[in-house]
Amino acid sequence: MTSKKSNGGDRISPLSDSILHHILSFLHTKSAVQTSVLSSRWRHLWKSMPHLIFDKKITPNAKSFAGLVYEVLLFRQTTSHIHSFRLLSMDDTDDARDLYNWIVVAIGRNVKEIEIDLLTYNPIKLPNSLFTCQTLTSLELSSSSSIQKLELPDKISLPMLETLSLDSFSFGDVEAVNKLISGCPVLLRLEILGCDLDVEGCLVIDAPTLLTLAVEYGANSGGLLDLHKCEIRINAPNLDVFWCADYIARKFTFVGERTLLDSAEIYLVANGNDFFAPLLDLSISEDEGEKKEHARRCTSLLGAVCGTKRLHLGAWMLLNDSSGKLLNWDEEIFNSANVVGESQWFPKRCIFHHLKVIEIHDVIGYMNEFNVLEFLLENALILEKIIIWTSNDISCDRKKGLINFSKALLKIPRASSDIVILFF
| 42-100: pLDDT as tens digits | 888 888 889 999 999 999 999 999 999 999 999 888 878 999 999 999 888 888 899 99
Residue positions counted in the chain:
424
Q: What is the model's pLDDT at position 290? A: 65
Residues of the chain with pLDDT under 70: 1-9, 219-228, 269-292, 294-295, 306-307, 313-354
Q: How far apart are CA 140 and CA 53, in angstroms?
A: 14
Between strands 169-170 and 241-247, the pairing is unpaired
Q: What is the model's pLDDT at position 245? A: 83
Q: What is the model's pLDDT at position 222? A: 45
Q: At what angle do helices 396-410 and 367-379 cross, to 10 degrees?
A: 20
Q: What is the model's pLDDT at position 219? A: 58
Q: At what angle do helices 62-74 and 96-108 cross, to 10 degrees?
A: 20
Q: What is the model's pLDDT at position 269? A: 65
> How many other CB atoms sit within 10 Å of the CB of residue 89?
19
Q: What is the model's pLDDT at position 38? A: 82
Measured between its terminal Cα atoms, the distance across the chain in Å is 59
**Cβ–Cβ < 8 Å for 141, 116:** yes
- Give the residue from 302, 313, 298 showing the smallest Cα distance to 350: 302
Q: What is the model's pLDDT at position 224? A: 45
Q: How far apart are CA 164 and CA 157, in angstroms?
A: 13
Q: What is the model's pLDDT at position 187? A: 98
Q: What is the model's pLDDT at position 85? A: 97
pTM (2 d.p.): 0.77
Q: What is the model's pLDDT at position 291? A: 64
